[in-house]
Structure 1
Amino acid sequence: MLFACLGISMVSCNNMLDVDPQDALDTEKVYSSVSNFEKGVLGSYSLYSPEYSVLIGSIMADECRLNPRNNGVNGFGNLLNRWEYTSEDDILLKAWKNYYADIYSINLLLENAGKVPVRNEQERSKKKSLVAELYGLRAMIHFELHRNFGASDADGNEALTIPYITDTDVNKKPGKISLSKFYEYIWLDLERTKDIDETVDFRMNKNAVTALEARVALYQKNYIVALAKSTQIINQFPLSDLSQYENIWKDKSPSEVIFRLKRSNDNKLRPNTLWEDYAAGRKFFQPSYKLMNSYTDSDIRLSNFNFNKDENTEEEFINKYPGNDFSDKVNDVKVFRVSEMYLIRAEANFFLNRKDAALQDIHELRKHRISNSAELNTIDLNTILNERYLELSYEGHRYYDLKRLKLPVKRLEKDLAAEGDQKDLNSNDKAYILPVPLKETIVNPNLK
C-alpha cells in the first residue's frame, strides 16, 4: 500500500465520501448526477489542509521563535523549529497523509467521472468544469508535497521528488521520480484545466490555475512562463492600498486575493490555530526578532497586524490572522494573492536580466505597503527575497523559497530556543531537506 493513511475515513462536506477509500469504489451515489458529483468535488476541498505548508514553511525558517512554554513531550512543532526532528515527526506524517488522502479522493472522482449522466448542454459544461477543477486541485496538492518532501529545485532535473499519483491502485508501491518527470506530470494536469469555471469563489478557477502556473514555473526556473502567467494575474487584480490592506486579513475584503479556502470553527486546523492553543491559553510560536526588525515603522504590515503584544503576558504574538467579524479565531486561507505575482514577476525579470522591470515591480509593491516609501536604486536576488520575506510571512513561503534556491536559513542568536541551538541551516545539513515519514518508507521502501 502506498499510504499509511488509507484507513482514514474520507469525509466530505456532505458525507458522500464518508467511507474507507478501499470501499469507496462501490459508492455510486456521488456519480448519480452532476449535482451530486459537484458535492463530491466539494468534499476534496474539505479534506485539503494547506495549513501544514503554512506552518512548516514558517517554523523551519527564520520567521518564528519558539515560545518558552512550547517544549517537551507536549510541544507542537518545536522539534521542526529547532531542526531536531526525525522522520517520525508527527506534523510531517500528518501533512503527508492529508495531501495524499486528498489526492486519492480526487483520483477516485476522476476515475468514475464517466459514470455521471448529463441531461442537457448546461450539465455537460458543468461536468467538464468540475473535472477540470479536480485536475487543478491534483496539480496543486502534488506541488505542495514536492515543496515539502522533494529535492531542492536547484539540484537539477534528475534530482528526486515525490511520486505523482494518478490512480487509486493501493497495491502499487511507487518510488520517487525525477524533477523533470514530476513537472511533466504537473503541467499535463494543468493543461487539463482549460474547461474550468472562470469566477467561482473559494474553489479552483481560471485565475487560481494561472497563479499556480506562475508559482510552479518560478520553482522550475521557467522564467518566461512565470513572467507571462504572473502578468496575466497582475493585469486583472489591483494591489490593495494602505487603507484596504488590514481588511484582507480580517476577511472583510477579497481585495487582491486570487484564491482562498473557506474556514470555520469546524476546521480544527486553520491559519489561526497554528501559532496558539486557544483552549490552553498557550502560544506555540512568536514572531522572530529578525523579521520584526526587518520592517520600517511606516510599513503597514508591521503596524497593522504582525506584532502586537498580548495585554496579559506582554509577549509579541503572530496576529496576521486576527479573526473575522464573527469570530476572533477564524480566518480563511489565502492561497494566492496578487502581491505574490508581483514578486514572481520581479524574480523572473531579474533572472531574465530585465533588472529595471524587476525593480519597477518591487517599487510598486512597496508603494502599496510603506508610507512615503523610499525608492531603491539597484536590485539583486537578496532584495527580491527580502521583499518576499516581508510580504509573505506566515503564508507558507520562506523555508520553501530558501530551499528551492539552496540558500541557508540564518537566524539571530536571540531567536534561538536555547543556548547552543544551531543558528544556521545549510543546504548540506541533514535537517535541510524534510524526509518522507518513516511509517511510509516502512510500508513502501521505494520511497526512501
Structure 2
Amino acid sequence: MKKIPFLISILLFSFYSCSDFLEQEPDEQVSIKQQLATKEGVLQAYNGIYRDLEAILSGNFAVYADLLGGNITFTPVISNKEISIPAKFLNTYSFNSKENKLDFETFYEDCYDLINQTNVLLENNNSFIFLSSEENNQLKAELLTVRATAHYLLTLLFAQNYNFTVDASHLGVVYNTNTVIAGVDFPARKTMAETYTLLQQDLENALQLYQNIQLLGGLEVSYFSVISTQALYAKIALQMNDYPKALEYANKVITSSYKVLLTKNNYILEWEKTEAPVLETILEFSAPRNSSGAVSSSLANSFFGYNSNQNYKRHVASGDLLSLYSTNDIRADLFLEQQLETEKNGNVALESYFFTKKYQVSPGTLFIRLSEIYLIRAEANARLNNTANALADLNIIRERANLLAINNTNNLLEEIFLERRRELAFEGHLFFDIARYKKDVIRDLGCIATVCNLSYPSNFFILPIPFASVSLNQNIKQNEGY
C-alpha cells in the first residue's frame, strides 16, 4: 500500500520547490482540507514535518560546519584510490559558490518548504476540534519550535553572524509566519536583529504552550519538548550573541535534572552503541526506517561510516583536528584508524585515515546534547565576566576528558573555543563558532580546496541566496559579493 504523505501544492521561492503533491497520481492526491480533517491526518502530517526536518539535518548540512571549519578531510575514492572533493561540496568547500551554482540550493528550498508546511498546520490549528486543548497546545508549541529551527538553520548559511554589524542591521533571512503563495506574496529579508526577535517570539510562545505530553510514538528525545526547546533557545541565543538569554536557558536545562553528563568511564562506550542515543542526548531525530523496520539512511551510510576497505564513506577527521587531542585525552579514542590504499604521484600506498566513532552502524541525527549546554553556559558566563562560573563548567568537560583543570583566565574564551572544537567535533558547530568568534578559517593538514584559508570578515563566510529565489522575488536582496 502506497503512503500518502502530507503535501502542499505551493511554489516556494523557486521553480524547483513545488510540493510532490503535484507529482502524485490524481487518485492519490489528498487536499489539505481532507488531510487535516481527522486527528489521524493531522498527526500524519506532523510526523511528516519531523521526517522532513530530520532529512534536512542529516543531508549535506550535517558536514557543512566541520568541513568548512577544518575538522573534516576526505578518504580516497574506492574505485581509483584518488583523493578528491565530493561533487556535492565542490563549490562550497573552496568558498566558490555562485547563486546559479550552489550546492545548498535544495537546503534553502527544503527549509522554506518545511516552514510553509508548519504554517499551514498553525493556520488550521483552531479547527482541530478532535484534539483536546492540551493536545492542541502541545502541537502548536512544537510547530512554533520547528518554525524557529528552520529559520535559524537558514541564518547560519545565508546570513552573516549576528555581530557582523554593531546593531545587527545587516540582512538576515525572510521570516515567514504565514504560508506563502507564489505570484501573490513577495516577502523581503529581515535584518538580523529583526530575525532574532522573531525567533525569540516563536520560542517564547512555544514555551508558554507546552503541556508535557507526547503526541507521536517513539523516543521522547526525538521530539521537541520544554527541555529541548530551552536547549535550542540557549543554542540560538549564543549564536546571536545574546549571552544573558544563553545563560538563562542553559542554566534551566542543566538544573532540571533531566539529563546527566556522560562519565569518563562510559564516554567511549556510549558512542559505540549501535542505534540508541547516547545517554546525555537532549534532542536526536530518529533515522528513517524501511517497511521491515531497518534504518534506511543515516549519517553513517551517508558520510561517516566504515565497513571495510571496499565499503567506506568519504568524510574523516583532518590532521588539524587530530592534533588538538593530547595523548591522555580519552576523546582521541573516538576515532577509528584505518589504512586505505591511496594514489599519490602515480604510486599507490597505504595511508591512515581516522573515521569518527560518533556515527557508525545506524545512529539517529544528533542535534543537541548536554555537553554542548555546559559549554554554552561556560561561554555565556565568560562573555559576561563571570569567570569563576565559566571555568567551573569548562573544567567539568575537560576533567571528564581526562585533561587537567584550567585555573588561568587570561585566554578563557580561546580555551572554550578549543574545547568546543574537541568535544563537539562532527556535530556541526565549528564554522559557526569561527564566525561568532570572528576568527579566520585556517585549514592546513589535509585541505585540498582551491582556497583553504579565509580571513574574517569576508562575503564568503555565507552562501548566496539561490538565483531562482532572487529572480522570482524582486524584494529579496542578494548577499554582498555575489
What band does the TM-score fall into relative to the shorter chain?
Answer: 0.7 to 0.9
Residue of 57, 66, 71 corresponding to 1:50: 57
Aligned pair in 2 of structure 1 residues 319, 288: CA closer, same or farther (>3 Å)? same
| Aligned-partner SS, 2:357 | coil
What's the CA shift for 1:118? Answer: 3.1
Which runs of 5 or more structure 1 residues have no equivalent in the other structure?
A: 12-16
Residue of 191, 212, 218 corresponding to 1:178: 191
The question of 1:433 aligning with 2:462 is answered yes
What's the CA shift for 1:410? Answer: 1.1
CA separation in 2, counterparts of 1:437 and 1:269? 27
Aligned pairs for 1:193-232 within 5 A: 193=206, 194-198=208-212, 200=214, 201=220, 202-232=222-252
1:54–1:397 Cα contact (<8 Å) kept? no
Aligned pairs for 1:272-283 within 5 A: 272=300, 273-275=302-304, 281=311, 283=313
Residue of 377, 380, 391 corresponding to 2:407: 377
Aligned pair in 2 of structure 1 residues 441, 315: CA closer, same or farther (>3 Å)? farther
Aligned pairs for 1:319-338 within 5 A: 319-323=356-360, 328=361, 330-338=362-370
CA separation in 1, counterparts of 2:279 and 2:306? 29
1:198–1:207 Cα contact (<8 Å) kept? no
CA separation in 2, counterparts of 1:367 and 1:296? 13
Aligned pair in 2 of structure 1 residues 164, 225: CA closer, same or farther (>3 Å)? same
What's the CA shift for 1:38? Answer: 2.1
The question of 1:245 aligning with 2:267 is answered yes
Range moving further from structure 2, 260-269 or 424-433: 260-269
2:160–2:461 Cα contact (<8 Å) kept? no
Give the 4+ runs in structure 1 shifted more than 6 A: 17-20, 70-74, 276-280
CA separation in 2, counterparts of 1:408 and 1:307? 29
After superposition, the C-alpha distances for 1:211-243 in whole angstroms (9 at most, x for unaligned) are 011111112222111111101111222110123
Match of 2:73 in 1: 65
Match of 1:14 in 2: none
The question of 1:262 aligning with 2:286 is answered yes
Residue of 290, 296, 307 corresponding to 2:326: 296
Task: Give the TM-score normalised by structure 2.
Answer: 0.81
After superposition, the C-alpha distances for 1:311-348 in whole angstroms (9 at most, x for unaligned) are 7765413323443xxxx2x2101111111111111111
2:339–2:351 Cα contact (<8 Å) kept? yes
1:88–1:437 Cα contact (<8 Å) kept? yes
Aligned pair in 2 of structure 1 residues 229, 67: CA closer, same or farther (>3 Å)? same
Match of 2:140 in 1: 131
After superposition, the C-alpha distances for 1:20-60 in whole angstroms (9 at most, x for unaligned) are 9xx97x42233223343222111101111213432211111
- Identical residues among aligned pairs (%): 22
Aligned pair in 2 of structure 1 residues 177, 215: CA closer, same or farther (>3 Å)? same
What's the CA shift for 1:278? Answer: 8.0
Range moving further from structure 2, 394-403 or 264-273: 264-273
After superposition, the C-alpha distances for 1:134-172 in whole angstroms (9 at most, x for unaligned) are 001111111111111112211232011111111122232
What's the CA shift for 1:277? Answer: 9.7
CA separation in 2, counterparts of 1:239 and 1:297? 22
2:237–2:246 Cα contact (<8 Å) kept? yes
Match of 2:472 in 1: 443
What's the CA shift for 1:8? Answer: 3.4
| Aligned-partner SS, 1:231 | helix
Which runs of 5 or more structure 2 residues have no equivalent in the other structure?
A: 1-10, 215-219, 342-349
Match of 1:415 in 2: 446
Matched letter for residue 243 of structure 1: N
Aligned pair in 2 of structure 1 residues 317, 416: CA closer, same or farther (>3 Å)? same
After superposition, the C-alpha distances for 1:64-115 in whole angstroms (9 at most, x for unaligned) are 1234547779623133222233333453112112211111111111111222
| Aligned-partner SS, 2:326 | coil
2:70–2:443 Cα contact (<8 Å) kept? yes
Range moving further from structure 2, 170-179 or 242-251: 242-251
Matched letter for residue 317 of structure 1: F
Residue of 243, 253, 259 corresponding to 1:233: 253
CA separation in 2, counterparts of 1:222 and 1:428? 20
CA separation in 2, counterparts of 1:241 and 1:89? 45
CA separation in 1, counterparts of 2:352 and 2:332? 16
Residue of 306, 311, 335 corresponding to 1:306: 335
Matched letter for residue 147 of structure 2: R
Match of 2:400 in 1: 368
CA separation in 1, counterparts of 2:144 and 2:236? 15
Aligned pair in 2 of structure 1 residues 400, 438: CA closer, same or farther (>3 Å)? same
CA separation in 1, counterparts of 2:118 and 2:43? 12
Range moving further from structure 2, 75-84 or 157-166: 75-84
Aligned pair in 2 of structure 1 residues 364, 188: CA closer, same or farther (>3 Å)? same
Match of 2:13 in 1: 3
CA separation in 2, counterparts of 1:361 and 1:57? 24
Aligned pairs for 1:325-364 within 5 A: 328=361, 330-364=362-396
CA separation in 1, counterparts of 2:21 and 2:298? 19
Match of 1:388 in 2: 420
CA separation in 2, counterparts of 1:56 and 1:10? 30
1:10–1:47 Cα contact (<8 Å) kept? no
CA separation in 2, counterparts of 1:29 and 1:9? 17
Residue of 158, 174, 188 corresponding to 1:163: 174
CA separation in 1, counterparts of 2:260 and 2:18? 45
CA separation in 1, counterparts of 2:48 and 2:276? 25
CA separation in 1, counterparts of 2:98 and 2:69? 17
Residue of 6, 30, 55 corresponding to 2:35: 30
Match of 1:111 in 2: 123
| Aligned-partner SS, 2:283 | strand
